[in-house]
Amino acid sequence: MKRLLVSACLLGQPVRYDGESNANKVNQLAEQLRQWQQQGRIIAVCPEVAGGLTTPRPAAEIQGGDGHDVLDGKAKVITNQGDEVTAEFTSGAEHALALAQKYQATAALLAARSPSCGTGRIYNGAFQRQLTEGDGVTVALLQRHGIQCFSPDDHAQLCEWMNQPD
């Protein structure tokens, strides 16, 4: 049975930086997520909270690259107040990876655009809501360990993947 690591905010938990959830971002997947949860196929995680950050917390963005660059020590995660939170984001990514490995999740559904969970596109580090190509820290680490990452926009591909035989 395929298992899926899922951003806790997408499951309705109020763990976003602003204390809200992102459940509205997965309306097209809501019934499927409920079904997978009932089947024991979902592992919920908020990498930022797992890394020791509070809710609510200052908004953060990656400066100097993306999550791959953060893992390689070439970029940093900075809050809109100027504080560096790279260690917390890295620790949270490691926690998410450990959960995925413990429960044998081979894919993840993660919140779009986030400096942790963004898949393919993240905010550019200038705090002006401008997107750039790249992955969040958690996505980068999961990908390096062979875990396929999906965003809510990839719902059709995710459902196809989850419904394939093991």
The SS3 assignment for 7 reads strand
Is residue 93 a contact partner of residue 87, using CB atoms and an 8 Å limit?
Answer: no
| pLDDT digits 0-9 by tens, 49-74 | 999 999 999 999 999 999 999 999 99
Q: How confident is the model at residue 131 (pLDDT cuts 50, 70, 90)?
A: very high
Q: How far apart are CA 82 and CA 84, in angstroms?
A: 7
The SS3 assignment for 10 reads helix
Q: How far apart are CA 164 and CA 166, in angstroms?
A: 6
If one counts every other C-beta atom within 10 angstroms of the C-beta of residue 94, the result is 16
Q: What is the pLDDT of residue 166?
A: 80
Residue 98 in tokens: 């450990």
Query: What integer is the mean pLDDT of 147-154?
Result: 96
The SS3 assignment for 50 reads helix
Residue 129 is given by DSSP the state: S
pTM: 0.97
Query: What integer is the mean pLDDT of 127-134?
Result: 97
Query: What integer is the mean pLDDT of 122-144?
Result: 97
| pLDDT digits 0-9 by tens, 13-43 | 999 999 999 999 999 999 999 999 999 999 9
